[in-house]
Amino acid sequence: MHAVLKRIWRDPGGRAGLLLVAAVLLLGLAGPWMVPHDPNKLNILARFGGPSAAHWLGTDHLGRDLLSRLADGGRVALLVALSTIAVALAAGTLLGTAAAYAPPQGERSILAAFDIISAFPSLVFALAVVALMGPGLDKVILIVAVTLVPHFGRVARAQTLSLRNSPFLEAERVLGASPLRLALHHLVPNILGPLVVLASMDVPVVITIEAGLSFLGVGVPPPRASWGTLLHDGYTTLSQSPWPVIAAGAVLTLATLGFTLFGEALRDAIDPKLRTEP
Amino acid sequence: MSHPLLSLALLSLDGLSLNYGTVPAVRAVSFDLHPGETLSVVGESGSGKSSLIRTALGLVPPTAGTVRFDGREVKSLRGREAKAFRRDVQMIFQDPAAALSPRMTVRSLLAEPLRIHGVAERDTWPGVLDLLRRVGLPESVLDKHPHQISGGQARRVGIARALVLRPRLLVADEPTAGLDLSVQGDIVNLLVGLQRDFGLTILMVSHNLDVVRAMSDRVLVLYLGRAVEVGRAEHVLNVPAHPYTRALLAAVPRFDPGNRHRAPPLRGEVPSPRNPPSGCAFHPRCPLADARCRAEEPAERILTDGHRVACHHPLHAVPAAA
């Protein structure tokens, strides 16, 4: 773990990514306690304010403090990203390894399910879910997690297929290891590397999907802040003040850039082919 | 070691066959392995050696025939009995580094057999450390991962790991493959010593005939999945009855200026088991082949002292004194 972080730090892109990720984490996790204003407190008289000592990034069309709302939106973005990826990683690994070990028919049906999910436009799926169940943070997490499962499932299956006949798994069978032990102690630890890299590369994707859904009004329902809703509100009132769009756009861009750079550096750092440990 | 007639077989194969789809890999192989004995299976690549031991270990169910361990049919073992079988039968793998789970340390690799079989680690760990010294490894390897140790060390870890549970039968698949000549000698001496100290029965697969000669009580020669010759090592290796065995022995390079009785080495490759030759599977490569060999598969005939050969024209009918 320490060695991996060190290798990421040595790479210029990785270093920039690490710093940006740290800044986003700080903003999202610690921000709500550090910022001086309640993100949902209205102050109509102070609306469309530019940056000032009291409001560092200004105020939105309802006079709410932009910095506070960005921090709150960051929290939402991180929450959605981490929970969807955790769910998709777990479900994808389970289904992918099951597909690799299943008889041909079972494998085909799991792969067909992956194909259907991938082929279905995720936005239409999102609109359908929201129309049926109403908007909500939990629905956003559900929608994004389902669309990501095939990602992880396909990689998990390919990795499992490449390891399924490896001598060390046979050696464990000769020792009498149970299938559960084989899976948890020997298979999963050895297929996790590529899946973790994929997970880190998916963080910016999930953040943009969440922002996109919220921008379209099918994501996180107001008054809860999200970078997508901030952008949408800022966009509709762009003629009054450019600050909400600039602030939310910049944070969204920097966050996705940071996670992308971090993900790429992480991939390079834990790719076993590049490993030169003694 | 012990006389075949005086003890019950520990491992007994009877008419064992294994097909992959429609392709036969092992065809009606039978032998008994007695406690304390070492039996080596020899043959070229593709002769079915690995399939034979994988079936004998119960990793693949046989297509026909039976495998019995300690008198019980392996295929029918369930639950506690199956677990006891897994404990009693251990294996040394051909590629030792690849047979070690890559993310574990040597320490956990050695502790794992104990955990799988619920043996209290506290009581047995000193024994494991003794074993580690016995196979010639320093304690400093305990915290290393498989990719951090050498091939010879990985081989020794594999041997120690196979012995942690004090098995009764040790299956050794090419135990000296990929090692330097001097290390090969060390491993052979180690295995012979361990066999004596632990009372092991060994089923070995190898195409290194020097190693086979040094370790085996009996030798089984496999050609295209069929046992063409079985017998005591000194008979099979010194006075082979099957032309194929003679050719295998002749293929071993040797410093022997007076090699007058040398058979010509084998030409060609092992035929595909997908499309085996008619009659005796060895006839396309056999210098003694005639019309009968092309038409009729030879039955196994018994020479003396358990020496069996499947050939229409055995090189001799009675094994000469070794």
Q: What are the residue boundaries of the structural domains of chain B, listed by start? A: 227-322
A114: CB partners within 8 A, 6+ apart? A95, A149, A150, A153, A154
Confidence at A232, pLDDT banded by 50, 70, 90: confident
**Chain B residues closer than 8 Å to A190 by CB:** 101-103
For residue B101, the distance in angstroms to the closest alpha carbon of chain A comes to 5
B1 confidence band (pLDDT: 50, 70, 90): very low
Structure tokens belonging to residue B8: 């019950």
Lowest mean pLDDT among A188-192, A221-225, B31-35, B219-223: A221-225
Using the beta-carbon criterion (under 8 Å), do A177 and B116 form an inter-chain contact? yes
Percentages of chain A per state (helix, strand, coil), in multiples of 5: 75, 0, 20
| ipTM of this complex | 0.81
Residues in B closer than 8 angstroms to A168, CB to CB, are 98-102
Residue B86 to residue A174, Cβ atoms within 8 A: yes
Q: What local confidence, expressed as pLDDT, does residue B254 receive?
A: 66
Cα B156 from Cα B97, distance rounded (Å)? 10
CB contact under 8 A, B117 and A176: yes
Q: How many whole angstroms separate alpha carbon A201 and alpha carbon A17? A: 12
CATH no. of A2-274: 1.10.3720.10
Nearest CA in chain A to B94: A167
Structural domain spans, chain A: 2-274
Task: Return the CA Rg of chain B.
Answer: 20
Report the b/e string of B37-66 with b at 16+ CB within 10 A.
Answer: bbbbbbbbebbbbbbbbbbbbbeeebeebe
B103 to A172: CB separation less than 8 angstroms, yes or no: no
Question: In chain B, whose CA is at the least distance from the CA of A177?
Answer: B116
Touching check for A174 and chain B: CB below 8 Å? Answer: yes
CB A171 to CB B57 under 8 A?
no
Kindly report, residue by residue over B142-201, the tens digit of the pLDDT.
Answer: 999 998 898 889 999 999 999 999 999 999 998 888 788 888 888 899 999 999 998 899
Asked if B148's CB is within 8 angstroms of A177's CB, the reply is: no
CB < 8 Å to B161, chain A: 175
Locate the chain B residue with the closest alpha carbon to A181: B116
Per the rule left: phi > 0, alpha: psi between -120 and 50, beta: everything else, A134 is left
Give, in degrees to the nearest 5, the angle at Cα A144 between A143 and A145: 95
Percent of chain A residues topping a pLDDT of 70: 89
DSSP state of A218: S
Output the CA torsion B239→B242→B244→B246 (10° steps): 20
- When comparing pLDDT for A215 and B254, which is higher? A215
Cβ of A174: how many Cβ atoms within 10 Å?
Answer: 22
| Alpha carbon of B144: minimum distance to chain A alpha carbons (Å) | 10
Q: Which residue has the higher pLDDT, A274 or A9?
A: A9
User: Percentage of residues in chain B with pLDDT exceeding 90?
Assistant: 31
CB atoms within 10 A of CB B299: 8
